[in-house]
């Protein structure tokens, strides 16, 4: 019976290795939602883009900016004035007058440009919010896949630990090993049970984080399924620096800073136009009772810029435009540093993941299989098996962490630079 344990454990080893090669496809049992349909990355993105409260707020801000553009097109309202001279019916005169302010100096066109540039700023903010949401969904989805895989690996470790404890108990009963070895096996099994409970808790947290991105769109779902390039084990390509440089000018942060600069310059033009006073034209009729006839009243009034020539507002607008230009340069520099850091993280994590998959994991698995076989033959103590099992388990965890770090780095690049042209359509 003891000799059958290595064969059973070897099957569990190969099953766990197959799970590591297909991350995200293993069922998660009691932490799933019954028979609810599985979840793919496109489905998660569609739900988030349709129901995320933050993105909805950004869309409402864009709709509100349309109102500002509409209002900027309005012309000054006319004024209807009534005046009366004297109160005696025989000598009084009544004047009814229509006054209309006429904007000069291109104020209306400048005001419209300010509103339009403001709408462009809000549109850029919406693009940035959408890029950030896409990156958040992608990171949350791969975190969910990794959490599912941790549960699967923890179940495999528990199966191995349970089998080892049963084998040790049988060997103790046969008098081949000391009872201390069985005690060690029981401790190892308890540790595996604790790791499984922690992995299941992490999976519940990951599921909650995914659902939080959907806002009030409560949708029960089963396992997250990584299909094709959506699997966490499918390492994304490291983009070339030249390709990243070309995308930087279209990054959401740069677009927003550029539109803010255009708006600041439009405000400066508006303040410059306001230095010219707007005349008011008057047209009316005066009824003079004393002479018994109506008289036409025509007039014009022009404010004199003696005390207020709008110089302060002009100076402020010019300095704010200079600040917006400096902020654009700062955004470019900061974006370049952040993109370079994310690319380095992507490259380093990819290399480590390939190293773990190609060398460390197979070696650790082989060492564990040899230790388990030697323990069954009485050549090794259970402590040697436990050390080999711990090493293999840690290698699998490291591999999973590097896979997740790679996907997060790729999501960070998309967050900073926005989706590529081929990926900008809503799934």
Q: Give 299's strand partners.
A: 282
Answer whether 221's CB lies under 8 Å from 37's CB.
Answer: yes
Residue 363 sits at φ, ψ, to 5 deg, of -65, -45
Give me the chain's average pLDDT, please.
84
- Rounded distance between C-alpha atoms, residue 224 and residue 135, angstroms: 17
Return the structure tokens found at 302: 């022009």
Highest mean pLDDT out of 142-146, 234-238, 327-331, 365-369: 327-331
- Rounded distance between C-alpha atoms, residue 221 and residue 213, angstroms: 14
- Rounded distance between C-alpha atoms, residue 368 and residue 362, angstroms: 10
pLDDT given at position 377 = 73
Q: What is the pTM of this model?
A: 0.79
Q: pLDDT category, 217, cuts 50, 70, 90?
A: low
Answer whether 365's CB lies under 8 Å from 372's CB.
Answer: no
Q: What pLDDT digit, counting tens, does each position of 70-125 carry?
A: 999 999 999 999 998 887 877 888 999 999 999 999 999 999 999 999 999 999 99
**HEC string for the chain:** CCCHHHHHHHHHHHHHHHHHHCCCCCCCHHHCCCCCCCECHHHHHHHHHHHCHHHHHHHHHHHHHHHHHHHHCCCCCCEEEEEEECCCCCCCEEEEEEEEECCCCCHHHHHHHHHHHHHHHHHHHHHHHHHHHHHHHHHHHHHHHHHHHHHHHHHHHHHHHHHHHHHHHHHHHCCCCCHHHHHHHHHHHHHHHHHHHHHHHHHHHHHHHHHHCCCCCCCCCCCECCCHHHCCCCCCCCCCHHHHHHHHCCCHHHHHHHHHHHHHHHHHHHHHHCCCCCCEEEEEEEEECCCCEEEEEEEEECCCCCCCCCHHHHHHHHHHHHHHHHHHHHHHHHHHHHHHHHHHHHHHHHHHHHHHHHHHHHHHHHHHHHHHHHHHCCCCCHHHHHHHHHHHHHHHHHHHHHHHHHHHHHHHHHHHHCCCHHHCCCC
Residue in 360, 330, 352, 334 with CA at minimum distance from that of residue 409: 352
Return the structure tokens found at 399: 């591999």
Domains observed in the chain:
4-423 (1.20.1600.10)
* Mean pLDDT for the stretch of residues 150-175: 82
* Mean pLDDT for the stretch of residues 370-379: 77
Cα-based distances in Å from 333 to 205, 336, 419: 36, 5, 20
pLDDT given at position 426 = 38
Which residues 6+ apart lie within 8 Å of 198 measured at CB?
154
Cα-based distances in Å from 234 to 20, 24, 144, 254, 347: 12, 11, 15, 30, 14
Residue 171 pLDDT greater than 80, yes or no: no
Q: What pLDDT digit, counting tens, does each position of 53-62 carry?
A: 999 999 999 9
Q: What pLDDT digit, counting tens, does each position of 275-318 carry?
A: 999 999 999 999 887 777 888 999 999 999 888 889 999 999 99
Torsion of CA 408, 412, 418, 424, to 10 degrees: 0
């Amino acid at each position: 019976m003891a000799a059958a344990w290595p064969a059973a454990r070897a099957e569990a080893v190969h099953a766990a290795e197959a799970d590591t090669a297909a991350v995200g496809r293993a069922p998660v049992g009691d932490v799933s939602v019954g028979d609810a349909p599985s979840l793919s990355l496109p489905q998660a993105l569609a739900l988030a883009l349709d129901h995320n409260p933050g993105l909805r707020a950004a869309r409402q801000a864009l709709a509100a900016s349309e109102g500002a553009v509409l209002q900027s097109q309005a012309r000054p309202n006319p004024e209807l004035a009534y005046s009366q001279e004297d109160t005696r019916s025989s000598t009084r005169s009544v004047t009814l007058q229509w006054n209309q302010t006429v904007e000069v100096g291109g104020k209306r066109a400048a005001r419209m440009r300010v509103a339009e540039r403001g709408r462009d700023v809000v549109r850029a903010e919406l693009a940035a919010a959408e890029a950030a949401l896409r990156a958040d969904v992608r990171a949350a989805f791969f975190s969910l896949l990794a959490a599912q895989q941790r549960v699967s690996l923890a179940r495999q470790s528990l199966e191995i630990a349970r089998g080892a404890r049963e084998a040790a108990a049988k060997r103790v009963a046969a008098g081949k090993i000391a009872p201390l070895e069985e005690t060690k096996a029981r401790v190892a099994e308890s540790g595996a049970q604790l790791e499984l409970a922690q992995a299941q808790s992490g999976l519940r947290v990951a599921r909650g984080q995914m659902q939080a991105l959907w806002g009030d769109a409560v949708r029960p779902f089963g396992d997250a399924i990584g299909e094709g390039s959506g699997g966490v084990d499918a390492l994304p390509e490291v983009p070339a620096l030249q390709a990243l440089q070309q995308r930087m000018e279209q990054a959401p942060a740069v677009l927003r800073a550029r539109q803010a600069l255009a708006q600041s310059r439009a405000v400066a033009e508006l303040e410059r136009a306001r230095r010219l006073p707007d005349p008011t034209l008057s047209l009316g009729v005066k009824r003079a009772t004393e002479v018994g006839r109506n008289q036409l009243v025509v007039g014009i009034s022009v404010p004199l810029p003696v005390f207020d020539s709008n110089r302060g507002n002009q100076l402020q607008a010019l300095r704010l435009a200079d600040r917006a230009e400096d902020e654009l340069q700062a955004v470019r520099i900061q974006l370049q540093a952040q993109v370079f850091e994310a690319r380095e993280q992507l490259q380093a994590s990819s290399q480590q993941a390939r190293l773990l998959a190609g060398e460390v994991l197979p070696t650790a698995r082989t060492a564990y299989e040899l230790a388990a076989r030697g323990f069954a033959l009485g050549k090794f103590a259970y402590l040697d098996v436990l050390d080999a099992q711990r090493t293999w388990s840690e290698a699998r965890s490291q591999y999973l962490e590097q896979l997740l770090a790679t996907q997060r780095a790729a999501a960070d690049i998309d967050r900073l630079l926005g989706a590529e042209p081929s990926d900008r359509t809503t799934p």
